[in-house]
Amino acid sequence: MQQRTFSKAGPRVGAMGFGAMSFGGFYGEADDAESQRALAMALETGTTHWDTSDVYGFGRSETMIGQFFKDNPGSRSKVHLATKGGIKRPPGSTERVFDNSPEYLRGTLEASLKRLGVEYVDCYYVHRREHARDVEEVAATMATFIKEGKIRGYGLSEVAPWTVMRAHTVHPVTAVQNEYSLWTRLPELGLLQTCRDLGIAFVAFSPVARGVFAGTVKAGTEFGKFDFRRGNPRFTEPNFSRNLEQMQPFFGFAKARDVTPAQVSLAWILTRGDHIIPIPGTRYASRVKENAGAAALELSAADLAELDRILPIGFAHGARYSEFQQIGSELYG
């Protein structure tokens, strides 16, 4: 697989990353054995940047990765590992509280390292900002963790460009993570450019639009009680049906080129900048292999123009998040 540099002075990683959110049951129940096969396939395909969080399945996602490292000696050295902290989420509840205090972040980091079975992580994100606390203080906390050798770099998630710049003045930011895909292009309003100019990796989550671009979400799909898409404006009617209808020309575009819709979506993201690394999430080995194949797909200028025509900016019906889901994410643009 082609590689990219993870931040200006960072290591080389596979251009396609791996998101382990679904290991925690956010998109339906996960099978532990299949999750392990997915991780093995990631290494086999050169998908070396792995992304997780302490709140994915209340630590289950991290535990799955830790088990893989334990069962496969030497695998840790082949993986560029990122996790996150800063969100308090009571078990069995969707309630979220944000805590970026040095004490809380230290506690969550230590717990993550234990679940993962590692001495350090390559990138540690503030999963959501606690807006009552200056980001400069948070950056200083992260700098302390770096000095202690617990993390190699730090990142910010769901933040505005000016927040990145403020944090960067205290200690260089390694990565910024926000949603980015053909149906969520908000980062083009300054965030992608800020990351590029400062030498920061931009990590694109939900690059296949929570399954829509993979073709796995169809009319009549019923989402489980704890499925993130349940109650999301883009996945509720009448928006859901309209969005699926809008996607049909895109599916035809992929079919005409004998590639999958997910591969087109991911390949498109790779054209948006050399500092961008998508992290499609899946719990299936077959999907990991499919996603990795997108790194070899080349889209011509004519292809890109056609994609802009059939899926113009702002085509998606409904807000990206519900009012509750939006809490903690910074708005800009």
Regarding predicted confidence, which is higher, 183 or 32?
183
Separation CA 116–CA 126 (nearest Å): 18
Whether 319 shows a pLDDT value over 80: the answer reads: yes
Whether the Cβ atoms of residue 83 and residue 279 lie closer than 8 Å to each other: no
How far from the centroid of its chain's Cα atoms is residue 18's Cα? 8
Phi-psi region of 142 (alpha: psi -120 to 50; beta: other; left: phi over 0): alpha
Whether 26 shows a pLDDT value over 60: the answer reads: no
Residue 187, amino acid: P
Structure-token match 């400069």, residue found: 136
| Contacts (Cβ under 8 Å, ≥6 apart) of 296 | 1, 2
pLDDT at 95: 76
Separation CA 333–CA 328 (nearest Å): 16
Q: Supply 95's token pair.
A: 């309630």
Residue 200, amino acid: I
Cα radius of gyration rounded to whole Å, the chain = 19
Q: Supply 140's token pair.
A: 């200083």
What is the overall mean pLDDT for the chain?
Answer: 93
Asked about 284 being catalytic, the answer comes back as: no
% residues pLDDT > 70 (the chain): 96
User: Average pLDDT of 95-114?
Assistant: 95
Whether 93 shows a pLDDT value over 70: the answer reads: no
pLDDT at 68: 97
Q: Which of 54-68, 170-184, 223-237, 310-324 has the highest mean pLDDT?
A: 170-184
Separation CA 20–CA 178 (nearest Å): 15
Residue 44, amino acid: E
User: Average pLDDT of 272-290?
Assistant: 96
Residues 160/162/164/166 CA torsion (nearest 10 deg): -150
Whether the Cβ atoms of residue 140 and residue 106 lie closer than 8 Å to each other: no
Structure-token match 């994915």, residue found: 56
pLDDT at 28: 52
Phi-psi region of 6 (alpha: psi -120 to 50; beta: other; left: phi over 0): beta
pLDDT at 322: 76
Which of 27, 56, 125, 180 is catalytic? The answer is: 56
User: Average pLDDT of 151-178?
Assistant: 98
One-letter-per-residue 3-state SS of 138-174: HHHHHHHHHHHCCECCEEEECCCHHHHHHHHHHCCCC
What pTM did the predictor assign?
A: 0.94
Whether the Cβ atoms of residue 240 and residue 213 lie closer than 8 Å to each other: no
Confidence band for 321, pLDDT divided at 50, 70 and 90: confident
Whether 5 shows a pLDDT value over 90: the answer reads: yes
Q: 39: closest CA among 66, 62, 68, 63?
A: 68
- Domains of the chain, by residue range, sit at 13-217+272-297
Separation CA 60–CA 302 (nearest Å): 43
pLDDT one-digit tens code per residue, 170-197: 999 999 999 999 999 999 999 999 999 9
When the candidates are 3.30.360.10, 3.30.390.50, 3.20.20.100, 3.55.50.30, the CATH number that belongs to 13-217+272-297 is 3.20.20.100
How many CB atoms are closer than 10 A to CB 240?
21
Confidence band for 94, pLDDT divided at 50, 70 and 90: low
